[in-house]
Amino acid sequence: MTALLEIRSVAVRFGGVMALSGVDLDVQKDSITGLIGPNGAGKTTLFNVICGIRQPTTGVVLLDNKEINGVPTQKRSAMGIGRTFQRLELFTTLSVFDNVLVAAELARVSNPHAVAREQIELLGLTDRTDTIAGELPTGSARLLEVARALAGRPRLLLLDEPASGLDDVETQQLGVLLQQLKSLGITVLLVEHDMSLIMKVCDQIHVLDLGNVIASGTPDQIQHNPSVIDAYLGAVR
Amino acid sequence: MQQLVAYTIIGLTTGAIYALASSGLLVTYVTSGVFNIAHGAIGMIAAFSYWQVRFEWGWSAPVALIAILGVLCPTLGLVIDRVALRGLAQATEVTRLTATVALMAAFIGIATWIWPPENRQPFRGFFDGNNVSVLGVNVGWNKIIALIAAIAVAVGLRILLYKTRLGIQMRAVVDDRSLAELNGARPARIASASWALGASLAGLAGILLAAEVQLNVVPLTLLVINAYAAAIFGRLKSLPLTFLGAMALGLTEAYLLWGQGQSWFPETIGGFSTAGLRQATPTIFLFLLLMLLPQAKLRAGAARVRERSAIPQWNIAILGAAVLVISSIAVTGMMTRSNTIYLIQALIMALAVVSLVPLTGYAGLVSLAPLTFAGIGAVLMSKMPGDGNIVSLIAVVVVVALIGAVVALPALRLEGIYLALATGAFALLVSILVFNQGKIFSNGVAEVPPLRIPGVDLSQPRPKAIFLSVAFAVVGLLLVALRRSSLGRQFVAMKDSPLAGATLGMNLVRTKALAFAMSAAIASLAGALDAGKVAPDNYTFDRSLPILLLAIVSGVGSIGGAFFGGMLLGSNTVLASIVPSITNITRVTPGLIGLSMGRNPNGTASQIATGFRPVTSHPQSLLTALSGIGALWLLTSVDIISHWGFFAALVIWGLGIVPNLPALAVTSGRSRVLCLLIAAVGMGIAAFFDDIFEAVPTGGRLLAIIVLFVVVGNAIRRIHTPVAPTTKSSPDLMGLTGFTPEELSQSDRAIKVVP
Ligand SMILES: Nc1ncnc2c1ncn2[C@@H]1O[C@H](COP(=O)(O)OP(=O)(O)O)[C@@H](O)[C@H]1O
Ligand SMILES: [Mg+2]
């Protein structure tokens, strides 16, 4: 196993708040890696660092063993990074189809229309192809975020709470989809509060609390880690 | 030496006035987050009102000051905050910015209405005629008072912000809105207080400035530029730096004034006069400071975009283009020469408005300079060799597109609001420094040659009008192609979420530059195709404002909307020239319409378009609509209907009756008969229009036509059962749109509105 993404002592400071204070973690190639922790732990901030939306105060991000700190956001998608947003960032006045199409076109795939249709089908949004994205219910909107990210043909997919707003059936389907993506060679970093989904699909889990990684391990190890139960899982149950 | 002292004092007092204005701007900006473009206009209104009560009505200075600064200005501030802007808190930056632009336009209109430019009593400063000797220089009391006021305000604001409860809450709101709210502060109330305070400070600055430069609507309104320059020097947060910036600005202006009187000062640089340099100082300051701002950060959670426009369909676009060209051929055949010239102006305006479609409608960026690019187009066309050769036109369009991109490029790093300011600064700079040059407009006019097309004489009104509508149709079709292309989708995506766009690989700077270049290219046509003698006055900053407003009001996302907006602007001039009393109303209208924006994000034209949508998908109605137009045309050509009658009938038929055709097709019984009766009466009045409105001048006739079509259309709509739309939109302030009727009735049941 090799690491696709490595975070090395990344710290981010917002004024007096340390959103991340020296985080170290790896995401293995072709894995589904979970990133969990209470609200405000710094998960979204870490995503922003990986995408280049926020520069870390200190520390480096490595993709394929190469430092990418200075690479601007818009060049990182060409390097294979795709993501969804916890606070939805859909193109709200475009149709579902056009949302995905824009992503495919920006990724310069050879047949963007076909790629867009494929991703929409994969996420089960075919019935809503012509709906204006701003009018989707939250669940479908989250799925559209995933479809759009996938149309950019990422190698590393960052999902920020994709299951919030989904019902049980949809969540289960999402889990199946994640496994499918993994078999297609897409590495997934998954932020999620739905513990049954996390425990079911993840190969590896990192737990973040107050900007620090307090535990890393397999789902089994994490579920029995006393400090994780203290900081987070206890509260969730 | 004596002179230097004198000019230093002039500089400091001017700086003091700027400091007052900019501190007011800053206070409102930091607490309410609204960039008030109308700040200078408030100062202007205050100065005129003060003049009214002090010199016309003879109130004493203290009473007048209390009335204006203590009552009028705070009220104005509160009204703006509560009425005009509160509903827009969740709107996009473009919408909020436009609302303050609308305010500015409305204030300019109101002031010109109440205080028409004429000889009036001079505006005398405080203790006019009495001087104080400072270091051997005689200084008027007005200047001394400006300095004292600035110092007092600086100290007062310091005490307010650090020692009073209100001030501490203000600072808390600036720091962290939600946290302050948790601790009991009420941001809404604090914003209102700061609007009242900011308006009073603007008023004080306006009054002091008017004593120095006299009453003049536009220059006083442009005080906002100075205020912005200083406030941006203070990074929009630091009051001390803002004061420093204001002083630096005042001193620079004063020393330039001094320099211009000296023999060593170059009168021309590279053949260009330096006369406008001092006047342009604040704008240059602002422009440079904007360029030095750090790169905008990508921010999550952009305001939810409410404005949206449907993707234009080819069949409708081609139909629209054909109808436009054919009807312009028909209509101009019947129009008098002078009416054709009005039509030409309206078409030019329509081109200027449509230039904002790719920029503002698609890409969500605001430009305050559409007419500046039109002006550059006109100037280049007049200087171009080839005398109206089509190749020259293409060259002009390409060059203006490049200028558009180059001007915008350094500004593109900025966020929307700063970008808009930078375009405003650019417009002013070009007006003051370039268009005023004798080299550019010799004796204040430039001669734009008509385009040379074999067999067509474009110097004649009718061919020119037809040609312009062809040009508009072509531009419109190109824009349809753009919106349907990958680049067009990227424009819209960038408007909706720049953050997501960048994450997906979009180069935001490049995309914005392209939008600017395209917009500038289209705007250049509004200048280069306007053959004849043109003056720089046609292309000033304040004339660009109504263009932006009407573009947004009439639905900037749609080409039909832009055409509609241009026609409205054009009919403004028709009305104005024929019925002078209407002028004032039309002057204020764009601003007022702009303010109604909060209620209707998609604009007038889109409502009309929504009305047409069922027609275009209902072949029987479409056929009826077109045959109706054909019949009118026939009746007119055999002289049964007069030209005015044709025009009136066309409007009533097209806008009043046609949208109702699909519904009428399925109505039956008495309501159908009633509808047909109303339609017949409307068309009847139109047919005998000339006889009925014989004594009425053009303006009144236009008004009558508008009233007729609205009345007929609405009456019919009321009677028949409307075709149920697939989605109901509720254009309310919450931006709740697009619920299906089922969803609506479901939620109504849930909250027990209906059993
Ligand atoms: N733009 C910002 N400015 C200031 N503080 C921020 C900003 N974004 C996040 N934070 C703070 O950083 C911490 C981590 O936030 P976040 O990464 O969103 O957490 P999570 O996604 O784990 O819930 C929180 O304390 C949050 O308040
Ligand atoms: Mg988060």
> Do residues B474 and B559 touch, judged by C-beta distance below 8 A?
no
Q: Are residues B356 and B430 in the same domain?
A: yes
What is the spatial distance between Cα B754 and Cα B432, in angstroms, rounded to a whole number?
Answer: 62
Q: Are residues B328 and B187 in the same domain?
A: no
What is the spatial distance between Cα B339 and Cα B577, in angstroms, rounded to a whole number?
Answer: 11
Q: What is the mean pLDDT of residues B146-173?
A: 83
Q: Is residue B650 very low, low, confident or very high in pLDDT (cuts 50, 70, 90)?
A: confident
pLDDT recorded at residue B598 = 46
- Top-confidence range, A137-146, B156-165, B639-648: A137-146
Q: Kindly tell me if the per-residue pLDDT of B742 is higher than 60.
A: no
Q: Are residues B573 and B636 in the same domain?
A: no
pLDDT recorded at residue A165 = 84
Give which of A71, A87, A93 to mutate to test B binding, by max B Cβ within 10 Å: A93
Q: Are residues B622 and B594 in the same domain?
A: no
- B717 or A27, higher pLDDT: A27
Residue at A156: amino acid letter = L
Q: What is the mean pLDDT of residues A36-54?
A: 93
Domain locations along chain A: 1-69+191-237
Q: Kindly tell me if the per-residue pLDDT of B294 is higher than 80.
A: no
pLDDT recorded at residue B724 = 44
pLDDT recorded at residue B309 = 62
Q: Are residues B636 and B555 in the same domain?
A: no
- B303 or B683, higher pLDDT: B683
What is the spatial distance between Cα B88 and Cα B101, in angstroms, rounded to a whole number?
Answer: 14
Instruction: Dig out the tokens for A236 from the structure.
Output: 């969730």
pLDDT recorded at residue B383 = 87
b/e for B726-739, b at 16 or more Cβ within 10 A?
Answer: eeeeeeeeebebbb
Q: How far is CA A11 from the centre of its chain?
A: 19
Nearest Cα to Cα of residue B365 among B243, B462, B255, B508: B508
Q: Which of B598, B625, B658 is the last residue of a domain?
A: B598
What is the spatial distance between Cα B153 and Cα B112, in angstroms, rounded to a whole number?
Answer: 30
Q: What is the mean pLDDT of residues B370-396?
A: 90
**Residue B305: its chain A contacts at CB < 8 A?**
92-93, 134
pLDDT recorded at residue B574 = 61
What is the spatial distance between Cα B482 and Cα B362, in angstroms, rounded to a whole number?
Answer: 10
CA distance readout (Å), A74 to A103, B50, B320, B491, B505: 12, 54, 39, 15, 4
Provide residues of A within 8 Å CB-CB of chain B.
51, 53, 73-78, 82-83, 85, 87, 89-94, 98-99, 101-103, 105-107, 112, 132, 134-135, 148-149, 152
Instruction: Dig out the tokens for B46 from the structure.
Output: 């205050």
Q: Is residue B377 very low, low, confident or very high in pLDDT (cuts 50, 70, 90)?
A: very high
Instruction: Dig out the tokens for B428 from the structure.
Output: 């002013």
Instruction: Dig out the tokens for B522 from the structure.
Output: 């289209």
Percent with pLDDT over 70 in chain B: 82
Q: Is B454 within 8 Å of chain A by CB?
A: no
Tell me which DSSP letter residue A205 carries: E
Q: Are residues B539 and B655 in the same domain?
A: no
Instruction: Dig out the tokens for A98 from the structure.
Output: 């056009």
Whether residue B726 lies inside any domain: the answer is: no
pLDDT recorded at residue B713 = 82
Q: Is B635 within 8 Å of chain A by CB?
A: no
Give the residues across from B140 on adjacent strands: B131
Q: Are residues B127 and B223 in the same domain?
A: yes
What is the spatial distance between Cα B713 and Cα B653, in angstroms, rounded to a whole number?
Answer: 9
pLDDT recorded at residue B205 = 93
Q: What is the mean pLDDT of residues A29-44?
A: 93
Pick from A25, A44, A191, A236 the residue to mutate for probing ligand 1's pocket: most ligand atoms within 8 Å of its CB.
A44
Q: Kindly tell me if the per-residue pLDDT of A154 is higher than 80.
A: yes
Q: Kindly tell me if the per-residue pLDDT of B601 is higher than 70.
A: no
Nearest Cα to Cα of residue B600 among B554, B645, B536: B554
For atom 7 of ligand 1, which residue has the closest CA? A14
Whether residue B609 lies inside any domain: the answer is: no
Whether residue B297 lies inside any domain: the answer is: no
Residue B192 φ then ψ, to 5°:
-60, -45
- Domain A1-69+191-237 = CATH 3.40.50.300: yes
Q: Are residues B68 and B142 in the same domain?
A: yes
Range of the domain at B443: 315-598
> Do residues B445 and B384 touch, judged by C-beta distance below 8 A?
no
Q: What separation in Å is there between the alpha carbon of A58 and the centre of ligand 1?
A: 17
Q: Kindly tell me if the per-residue pLDDT of B199 is higher than 90.
A: yes
Q: Is B486 within 8 Å of chain A by CB?
A: yes
Which residue from A77, A92, A98 is facing B504, i.e. has the nearest CB? A77
Whether residue B150 lies inside any domain: the answer is: yes
What is the spatial distance between Cα A133 and Cα B564, in angstroms, rounded to a whole number?
Answer: 28
Note whether A90 contacts B493, CB cutoff 8 Å. no
Q: Kindly tell me if the per-residue pLDDT of B296 is higher than 70.
A: no
For atom 8 of ligand 1, which residue has the closest CA? A45
> Do residues A190 and A178 touch, judged by C-beta distance below 8 A?
yes
What average pLDDT is seen over chain B?
80
Residue at B458: amino acid letter = L
Tens of pLDDT, residue by residue over A56-102, are: 999 999 999 999 998 999 999 999 999 999 989 999 989 999 999 99
Q: Is residue B305 very low, low, confident or very high in pLDDT (cuts 50, 70, 90)?
A: very low
Q: What is the mean pLDDT of residues B707-729?
A: 66
Whether residue B728 lies inside any domain: the answer is: no
pLDDT recorded at residue B21 = 92
What's the CA dihedral at A171, A173, A179, A181 to 10 degrees? -100
Q: Is residue B138 very low, low, confident or very high in pLDDT (cuts 50, 70, 90)?
A: confident
Note whether A107 contacts B505, CB cutoff 8 Å. yes
pLDDT recorded at residue B261 = 75
Residues in CB range of A136: below 8 A, 6 or more apart: A90, A96, A128, A144
Q: Kindly tell me if the per-residue pLDDT of B582 is higher than 80.
A: no
Q: Is residue B692 very low, low, confident or very high in pLDDT (cuts 50, 70, 90)?
A: confident
The 3-state DSSP class for residue B353 equals helix
pLDDT recorded at residue B293 = 72
ipTM of the complex: 0.94
Residues in CB range of B260: below 8 A, 6 or more apart: B274, B275, B277, B278
Tens of pLDDT, residue by residue over B545-570, are: 878 877 776 667 778 777 877 777 77
Q: What is the mean pLDDT of residues B31-37?
A: 80
- A132 or B622, higher pLDDT: A132
Q: Which ligand approaches the C-alpha of residue A48 most closely?
A: 1
Q: Is residue B486 very low, low, confident or very high in pLDDT (cuts 50, 70, 90)?
A: very high
pLDDT recorded at residue B76 = 92
- B55 or A189, higher pLDDT: A189
Q: Is residue B304 very low, low, confident or very high in pLDDT (cuts 50, 70, 90)?
A: very low
Q: Is B294 within 8 Å of chain A by CB?
A: no
Q: Is residue B541 very low, low, confident or very high in pLDDT (cuts 50, 70, 90)?
A: confident
pLDDT recorded at residue B181 = 65
Q: What separation in Å is there between the alpha carbon of B529 and the centre of ligand 2?
A: 54
- B9 or B177, higher pLDDT: B9
pLDDT recorded at residue B30 = 80
Whether residue B540 lies inside any domain: the answer is: yes
Q: What separation in Å is there between the alpha carbon of A233 and the centre of ligand 1?
A: 20
Ligand 1: list residues with CB < 6 Å.
Answer: A 14, 17, 19, 37, 39-45
Q: Kindly tell me if the per-residue pLDDT of B315 is higher than 60.
A: yes
Q: Which of B379-383, B482-486, B588-592 has the lowest mean pLDDT?
A: B588-592
Q: Which of A167-171, B577-581, B653-657 has the lowest mean pLDDT?
A: B577-581
b/e for A68-99, b at 16 or more Cβ within 10 A?
Answer: beebebbebbebbbbbbbbebbbbbbbbbbbb
Give which of B299, B503, B506, B558 to mutate to test A binding, by max A Cβ within 10 Å: B503
Q: Are residues B148 and B248 in the same domain?
A: yes
Structure-token match 């960039």, residue found: B35
> Do residues B31 and B173 touch, judged by C-beta distance below 8 A?
yes
Give the residues across from A215 on adjacent strands: A207
- Give the H or E element holding residue A63: strand A58-63
> Do residues B262 and B274 touch, judged by C-beta distance below 8 A?
no
**Residue A82: its chain B contacts at CB < 8 A?**
503-504
Instruction: Dig out the tokens for A225 from the structure.
Output: 């880690």
Residue B560 φ then ψ, to 5°:
-60, -40
- B342 or B72, higher pLDDT: B72
Q: Kindly tell me if the per-residue pLDDT of B652 is higher than 80.
A: yes
pLDDT recorded at residue B302 = 45
**CATH number of the structural domain spanning residue B184:** 1.10.3470
pLDDT recorded at residue B737 = 40
Q: Is residue B453 very low, low, confident or very high in pLDDT (cuts 50, 70, 90)?
A: confident
Q: Is B729 within 8 Å of chain A by CB?
A: no
Q: Are residues B631 and B579 in the same domain?
A: no
Tell me which DSSP letter residue B69 carries: I
pLDDT recorded at residue B145 = 85
Q: Count of H helices and E strands in chain B?
A: 34, 6
Q: Where are any strands of DSSP class E within A145-233?
A: 156-160, 187-191, 204-209, 212-217
What is the spatial distance between Cα B331 and Cα B321, in angstroms, rounded to a whole number?
Answer: 15
**Residue A73: its chain B contacts at CB < 8 A?**
298, 502-503
Percent with pLDDT over 90 in chain B: 23
Note whether A93 contacts B490, CB cutoff 8 Å. no
Strands A32-36, A204-209: pairing is parallel
Q: What separation in Å is there between the alpha carbon of A36 and the centre of ligand 2?
A: 10
**Residue B503: its chain A contacts at CB < 8 A?**
51, 53, 73-74, 76-77, 82-83, 89
What is the spatial distance between Cα A109 and Cα B437, in angstroms, rounded to a whole number?
Answer: 52
Q: What separation in Å is there between the alpha carbon of A14 and the centre of ligand 1?
A: 8
Q: Are residues B548 and B643 in the same domain?
A: no
Q: Which ligand approaches the C-alpha of residue A46 most closely?
A: 1
Residues in CB range of A35: below 8 A, 6 or more apart: A25, A43, A46, A189, A190, A191, A205, A206, A208
Q: Are residues B531 and B583 in the same domain?
A: yes
Residues in CB range of B399: below 8 A, 6 or more apart: B380
**SS in 3 state form for A93-116?**
CCEHHHHHHHHHHHCCCCCHHHHH
Q: What is the mean pLDDT of residues A27-52?
A: 94
Tell me which DSSP letter residue B728 carries: B
Which residue from A77, A83, A90 is facing B497, i.e. has the nearest CB? A90
Note whether A91 contacts B492, CB cutoff 8 Å. yes
Instruction: Dig out the tokens for A124 from the structure.
Output: 């089960």
Percent with pLDDT over 90 in chain A: 81
Q: What is the mean pLDDT of residues B359-374?
A: 90
Note whether B505 contacts A106, CB cutoff 8 Å. yes
Residue at B637: amino acid letter = S
What average pLDDT is seen over chain A?
92
> Do residues B516 and B404 touch, judged by C-beta distance below 8 A?
yes
Q: Kindly tell me if the per-residue pLDDT of B93 is higher than 80.
A: no
- Number of structural domains (chain B) is 3
Q: Kindly tell me if the per-residue pLDDT of B584 is higher than 90.
A: no
